[in-house]
Structure formats: C-alpha cells, structure tokens
Amino acid sequence: MRTGAKLVATTVLTLLAAGATIAQDWPNWRGPHFNGSTQAKNLPVKFSPSENVKWAADLPGSSAATPIIYGNNVFVSSADPKNEALVALCLDRLTGKVKWRHAVGSGYQPGGEGNKIQMDDRSNYASPSPVTDGKRVVFFFGNGDLAAFDLAGAKLWQRNVQKEYGDFAFQWTFSSSPQLYAGKLYLQILQRDQPVGSRGKQGAPSFLLALDPATGKELWRQERPSKAVMESREAFSTPIPHDHNGRKQLILAGGDYLTGHDPQTGKELWRWGTWNEGHREAWWRLVPSPVAGAGVVLVCAPKRQPVYAANLGGTGDLTAAAPAWKSEDRSPVSSDVPTPLFYNGKFYVLSDVRRSLSCVEPKTGAVVWTVPVPGRQMCWASPTGADGKIYLINLNGDVFVMDAASGKVLAENAMDAEGAEIRSSVAVAHGNLFIRTKDKLYCVGK
C-alpha cells in the first residue's frame, strides 16, 4: 500500500510539475490562454537596457513578431535586410545564444518582382509570430512561406501558401500568425476578392486553412464568405481558439464579421456582424484579433469606431441579433491596431487612436477606469497582463508598466530610441519578460 501510495504521489507531483512548466511557457502570439495573459508572478517593474537584464541578443533585423518561448527555447521570426532573407531563429532561453538559424525564404512576390523582405515601407514579411506545440515550431511569413522545424532545428517540411493557393490580395503586407490547436495547424487568409495592383485575382476566396502539423499536408479548407467590399474584406488578425461551455471553437474576425468554427472540420458554427452596415464602408481593413472571456467575444471596429461584444454560445446566423454591448461613439474604448487583453476577469482595451488604456466589465461594457498612455508615440503592440500589471510598449520601445487594478503608471522604461517602430508585444515566460526592440531581444528579470 505504501509503495502504491508513493507511486501515486510521485505521479501527481510529476503531472503538477509538467503543468507548471506548460503554464510558464508562451507558445503563441497571445500566450498560454490565447488572450494576452499569464499567471506569472514576481516580474520586474523597473528596467532598462542595462538594468535587470539577464541577456540581450542581437537580431538580424526588425519584425513585428512576438517571441515565442517553450522550455529553454526562444523562437523568433526576423527579416535579414543585409542578406534579403526571412529568418527562423531559436535562442537559448537561459543565455540568449543562437541555438539554430534557418533562412526560410527570400521574399517571393507575384510576377517574380525580386528578392525582397517587404511589400510596403511600414512592415515586412517577418511580422507573423511563430507558434509551437512543444513537438515542433511553425514559422509563417507574409510572402506565403510556411515552414516547420523540430525543436532541435531539423526542418520537417516547407511550403508556400501564396504559390499554392494564389497570390494574396492585400493592400498592405499580409500578417496573420499561424495557430496550433486541437492537433491541427490553422492559417486564415481573409482577403479581397479582386486584384490589388498586380496582386491577387478577381473572385479570390477568403478561407480558413487546416494542415497536419507533422507533414504540412492540407486537412481541409473552409471558405468564408463576406458581404464586405474592397479593403474591408482584408483582415490582419489571427484565429483565436476558445472553449465556451465545452464547445471548442476558432474565432475569426474580418470581412465585417465575427465567425466561430469547428476546429475539427472548419464548419462555421455561428456568425455575427456587422460593424459596417448601411453603405458598407470600403476602407475598413481589420487589424485586431478577437479576444474572448466571461461568455463574450470582443471585436474592435477599424479606425475610431466602437468596440463590440458578441455573446458566445449561439448557433447559425446571428447577424440580426443585437450585440451584448458596444462602446459609445467617440469613447476611449476603441482600437485600430492593438488586440485587447482579457486578464483577471476584465477586458483591457488599449487605444492607439485615443492614446488611452481602459479597463472594461465583460458583461456590460461598463468602463471601470480609463487612463492616458504616457509618451509621445502610439502603442501598436498588444497589451500583456501578468503579476497584477499591464505591460505596454510603444513604437519608440518605451515599456509602460501599469497597475491592473487602478491603471496607475508604475514605471516608464526606455528600451530603444525614437523612430524604432516597435510593434512586437511583450512576452512573459519562466519569470521573465521578453522584449523585442528594433535589433535586439532582451530577457528581463529580477
């Protein structure tokens, strides 16, 4: 009996330890809960490039991609302007030293336009964040290159989505991060149905793609219809997994609609919209991803438009249903670029257009507090919640640490210089902050 009890106790402790390890990782762009939050504690408040820094690693170029952390590995997507390459990197979490590096692509463009790493002057093809399930890590780049490696760096497979499914039809450099969930790899392509210059083609469909993460082979492709027109069909968001009352789903935002999909088949479970009724504004491309919590899912209408909350749990076409709530016109609860955060039972909406941070009640949309965001530059990176704090980073690389309960600014930490164009969110893993600047990655900890 004692031996059996000891075995059970050992097994329980092992499982608990494994669970703790998983909880400490940051395996995808929005973290372990797909909402920008983690339960990490004892994180630093004040830091600089020379204070509370465990290591700083040089990067080959800039990128809006957030670093992904699993175990002792830090995975980073990067552009390499010097070599005109798109790079997949793995760093040692303890030292910052490069474990492996692969050039995944060289910037394929329609019509063989050359060896480029970007399509426009505001971003580059390395903007999507990588994703890992602990067995493999997948890198996607805005030129369509999609590649998987094992954690030791051996390439498992590679394909180019744009070459195989048709040239992307986007006004700006395409950026949607891949997602691993329920044993499948997902990628959304929500695009125009007409050419944009030399890119795309008339009647191009928008779709959700599911692949076998072990081989890269297509499992299914679910087309996603939309009544949106022109640029309003374009979405730079990422599909977000959510389990509501035992119903697993992937939530997509874009093309003037929110949709929930069965992760196993891609079938559309429900649809809600729209923030673009009437004359159908043609220039409302969507950047923020959806975020779910407390029975609702938020979507941020573009530019200075309101935030909408849709009730989860419905089935079929819900477009005639009223939203659970919407923020008021000209309210500070509005976001054009950053994805909101769900943390400790509250939504936090970071507004780049209003330069404010708001704490919002999920059920009613009541604003608990709104505070101005310091600094002269906008925050385009999405907020991170951990240790009772909200971490924001603006385009200049200034990291603001805010108290989650009150919105009080606890610290302003300059990590780069003016004009750095930082768009990568702060990641939290194993008791440290991982902060990407223009050409460095910092591991910050007490």
Q: In Å, how far are 137, 165, 205, 282 from 221, measured between CA atoms?
A: 22, 10, 11, 26
Please give the distance of CA 134 from its chain centroid, rounded to a whole number: 18
- What pLDDT score was predicted for residue 204? 96
Which has the higher per-residue pLDDT, 282 or 112? 282
Domains of the chain: residue spans and CATH: 31-64+341-446 (2.40.128.630)
The pair phi, psi for residue 187, each rounded to 5°, is -145, 130
Please give the distance of CA 155 from its chain centroid, rounded to a whole number: 24
pLDDT in tens, 182-214: 999 999 999 999 999 888 999 999 999 999 999
Q: How far apart are CA 35 and CA 340, in angstroms?
A: 8
Burial-class residue 16 by CB neighbours within 10 Å (0-12, 13-18, 19+).
exposed
Q: Evaluate the omega torsion of the peptide bond into residue 215 and state whether it is cis, within 30 degrees of 0.
A: no
Retrieve residue 35's tokens: 């909402």
Burial-class residue 262 by CB neighbours within 10 Å (0-12, 13-18, 19+).
middle
pLDDT in tens, 306-326: 999 999 999 999 999 999 999
Q: How far apart are CA 342 and CA 294, in angstroms?
A: 9
Q: How far apart are CA 361 and CA 278, in angstroms?
A: 29
pLDDT in tens, 254-293: 999 999 999 999 999 999 999 998 778 999 999 999 999 9
CA proximity to 34, closest of 251, 236, 307, 200? 251
pTM: predicted TM-score of the whole model, two decimal places: 0.94
- What pLDDT score was predicted for residue 14? 41
CA proximity to 200, closest of 316, 288, 111? 111
- Write the DSSP symbol of residue 163: H
Count Cβ neighbours within 10 Å for each residue of 400-434 and write b for 16 or more, e otherwise. bbbebeebebeeebebbeeebbbbbbbbbbbebbb
Q: In Å, how far are 173, 197, 266, 419 from 119, measured between CA atoms?
A: 5, 12, 30, 20
- What pLDDT score was predicted for residue 105? 86
Cα dihedral across residues 328, 329, 333, 336: positive or negative: positive
- What pLDDT score was predicted for residue 122? 72
Can you tell me which residue has the tokens 């893993």? 429
Is 365 within 8 Å of 325 (Cβ atoms)?
Answer: yes
Residue 107: pLDDT band (50, 70, 90) is low
- What pLDDT score was predicted for residue 23? 61
Can you tell me which residue has the tokens 């029975």? 295
Retrieve residue 355's tokens: 């330069």
CB atoms inside a 10 Å sphere around CB 11: 10
Is 291 within 8 Å of 343 (Cβ atoms)?
Answer: no
pLDDT > 70? residue 12: no
- What pLDDT score was predicted for residue 119? 73
Q: Evaluate the omega torsion of the peptide bond into residue 259 and state whether it is cis, within 30 degrees of 0.
A: no
Q: What is the 3-state secondary structure (H, E, C) of 6-19?
A: HHHHHHHHHHHHHH
- What pLDDT score was predicted for residue 18? 43
Can you tell me which residue has the tokens 């790899």? 185
Q: How far apart are CA 67 and CA 166, in angstroms?
A: 29
First to last CA, the chain: 44
Average pLDDT over residues 293-313: 97
pLDDT in tens, 32-42: 999 999 999 99
